[in-house]
């Protein structure tokens, strides 16, 4: 999949891919759930019929994350289902040909709908645009489906709206999945995602606390925004194609004075150096809430109990 990084690279994309015609969609696509996948399936059908490529346009960060940064209020940031890098890999797996990454910043926030349509969308070689009928864009959210449709008629670009994808009579949405995850309902999240919920990240250096306790852990890099849940979990970890059982703590680690979310994973029966490697962590079951212990010895005793719980789970 070809990644177009921002508006300044549109001309380079067109130069390297002359004559490309695409069917495109716009959205945040957090989690790439079954509703998103349904849109991509319909795009696939039309792409084959018309010899078009498939393009997904998404902004980073989410608009709500941007405004939380401006206000310096992390508490207003919506939790993420997955980081944008994982979204990119999943889009590629789903057969998308081009992903257009548009940074959400002050310039984009103040951009008029007309500039967005004529200086961005029109330059991408789009033949058909598929969006939700509640889609809003441009300064003060002045652009909408009707404006896009009229613009499309004038520029020979078809603009169509997507049908709502329902499960149990309710719309499948990223917010519904976040709610399931915040309630530790991983089975419900799996049903809406079409796959078990997991988080993939690179192992980075931490405080080396696990080494000091004699219980090595892998710290996974987290984006600035938080995941939708916290606590201690039984997990299945995939490393270089192999699966391992594990126990993970998602939280701020209050016993050692932490104040930023960290995802810390201990792999069962494993002791290799895996810094800079990527781990896929699938959350299976919550064991307990995170808590502050009296000291490191008390914390170590509890971690040993948690590991025993995980070993029993995996049999």
pLDDT tens digits along 161-220: 988 899 999 999 999 999 999 999 999 999 999 999 999 999 998 776 777 788 989 999
* CA–CA distance, 178 with 189 (Å, rounded to integer): 8
Per residue in 11-55, pLDDT tens? 999 999 988 999 999 988 999 999 999 999 999 999 999 999 999
Give the burial string for 24-62 (b: 16+ CB within 10 Å, else e).
Answer: bbbbbbbbbbbbbbbbbebbbebbeeeebbbbbbbbbbb
Please state the pTM of the whole predicted model: 0.89
* Domain-embedded: residue 277: yes
Residue 56 has pLDDT above 90, yes or no: yes
> Does residue 183 fall inside a structural domain?
no
**What is the domain count for the chain?**
2
Identify whether residues 145 and 21 lie together within a single domain: yes
pLDDT at 268: 96
Pull the structure tokens for residue 103: 């940074």
178 within domain boundaries:
no
Of 112, 137, 171, the residue that ends a domain is 171
Evaluate whether residue 191 is within a structural domain: no
The verdict on 19 and 144 lying in the same domain is yes
pLDDT for the residue 225:
66
CA distance 135 to 153: 18
What is the DSSP secondary structure assignment for residue 19, as one 8-state letter?
Answer: T
**Confidence category of residue 74, pLDDT binned at 50, 70, 90:** confident
Task: Say if 245 falls within a structural domain.
Answer: yes
79: its two tokens:
């939790």
User: Which pairs from 81-84 meet CB under 8 Å and 24+ separation?
Assistant: 81/30, 81/31, 81/174, 81/177, 81/178, 81/181, 81/197, 81/228, 82/30, 82/31, 82/32, 82/199, 82/200, 83/201, 83/222, 83/223, 84/58, 84/60, 84/223
Let me know whether 161 and 201 are in one domain.
no
Claim to verify: residue 162 and residue 206 sit in the same structural domain: no
* Burial grade of 295 (CB within 10 A; 0-12, 13-18, 19 or more): exposed
Query: How many Cβ atoms are within 10 Å of 153's Cβ, its own excluded?
Result: 11
Same domain, 77 and 145: yes
User: Is the separation of the CB atoms in 315 and 253 below 8 Å?
Assistant: no
The last residue of one of the domains, among 171, 188, 217, is 171
Range of the domain at 283: 197-314
Q: Are residues 141 and 8 in the same domain?
A: yes
CATH of the domain at 112: 3.40.50.620
Other Cβ atoms less than 10 A from the Cβ of 168: the count is: 8
Does residue 21 sit in the same domain as residue 121?
A: yes
Q: Is the peptide bond before 274 cis (omega within 30 degrees of 0)?
A: no
pLDDT at 289 > cutoff 80: yes
**Is the model more confident about 63 or about 124?**
124
In a domain, 31, yes or no: yes
User: What's the rounded Cα separation, in Å, for the pair 267 and 260?
Assistant: 22
Please tell me whether residues 293 and 245 are part of one structural domain. Answer: yes
- Res. 222 pLDDT band, cuts 50 70 90: confident
Does 180 fall in a domain? no
Give residue 311's pLDDT: 97
Residue 274 sits in a domain whose CATH number is 2.40.30.30
Q: Are residues 74 and 112 in the same domain?
A: yes
142 and 8 together in one domain: yes
What's the pLDDT at 257? 66
Q: Which pLDDT belongs to residue 303?
A: 94
Query: Cβ distance 78 to 178 under 8 Å?
Result: yes
| 270 lies in some domain | yes
| Alpha-helical regions (H) of 105-208 | 106-109, 113-116, 145-154, 174-182, 186-193
Q: What is the pLDDT of residues 118-160, one digit of tens each?
A: 999 999 999 999 998 678 899 888 999 999 999 999 999 999 9
Note whether 76 and 16 are same-domain residues: yes
Instruction: Give the contacts of 296 (CB within 8 A, at least 6 positions apart).
Output: 209, 212, 213, 255, 256
Classify strands 22-26 and 126-131 as parallel, antiparallel or unpaired.
parallel
Both 109 and 201 in one domain: the answer is no
**What pLDDT sits at residue 306?**
97
**Integer CA distances (angstroms), 43 to 36, 128, 158, in order:** 11, 9, 13
The answer to whether the beta carbons of residues 148 and 117 sit under 8 Å apart is yes
**Confidence band for 261, pLDDT divided at 50, 70 and 90:** confident
Domain closes at, from 115, 137, 171? 171
pLDDT tens digits, 77-121:
788 898 888 888 999 999 999 999 999 888 999 999 999 999 999
Q: Is the dihedral of CA 267, 184, 227, 174 positive or negative?
A: positive
d(CA 235, CA 314): 10
Name the strand (E) or helix (H) holding 243. Answer: strand 242-251
237 pLDDT above the threshold of 90: yes
Average pLDDT, whole number, for the chain? 91
Question: According to the model, what pLDDT value does residue 224 have?
Answer: 67
């Amino acid at each position: 999949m070809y990644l177009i990084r921002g508006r300044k690279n549109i001309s380079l994309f067109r130069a390297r891919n002359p004559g490309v015609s695409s069917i495109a969609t716009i959205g945040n696509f957090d989690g790439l759930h079954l509703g998103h996948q349904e849109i991509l399936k319909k795009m696939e059908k039309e792409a084959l019929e018309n010899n078009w490529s498939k393009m997904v346009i998404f902004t980073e960060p989410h608009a709500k994350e941007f405004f939380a940064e401006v206000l310096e209020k992390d508490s207003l940031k919506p939790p993420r289902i997955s980081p944008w890098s994982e979204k990119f890999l999943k889009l590629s797996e789903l057969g998308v040909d081009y992903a257009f990454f548009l940074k959400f910043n002050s310039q984009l926030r103040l951009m008029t709908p007309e500039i967005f349509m004529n200086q961005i969308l029109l330059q991408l070689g789009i033949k058909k645009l598929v969006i939700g009928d509640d889609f809003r864009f441009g300064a003060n959210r002045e652009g909408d489906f009707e404006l896009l449709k009229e613009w499309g008629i004038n520029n020979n670009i078809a603009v169509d709206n997507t049908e709502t994808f329902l499960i149990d009579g309710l719309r499948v949405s990223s917010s519904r999945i976040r709610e399931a995850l915040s309630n530790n309902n991983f089975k419900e999240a799996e049903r809406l995602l079409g796959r078990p919920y997991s988080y993939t990240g690179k192992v980075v250096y931490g405080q080396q606390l696990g080494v000091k306790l004699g219980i090595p852990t892998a710290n996974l890099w987290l984006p600035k925004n938080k995941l939708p849940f916290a606590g201690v979990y039984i997990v299945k970890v995939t490393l270089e194609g192999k699966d391992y059982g594990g126990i993970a703590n998602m939280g701020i680690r209050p016993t050692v004075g932490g104040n930023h979310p960290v995802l810390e994973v201990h792999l069962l029966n494993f002791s290799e150096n895996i810094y800079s490697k990527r781990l896929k962590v699938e959350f299976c079951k919550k064991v307990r809430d995170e808590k502050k212990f009296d000291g490191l010895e008390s914390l170590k005793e509890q971690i040993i109990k948690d590991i025993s719980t995980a070993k029993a789970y995996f049999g």
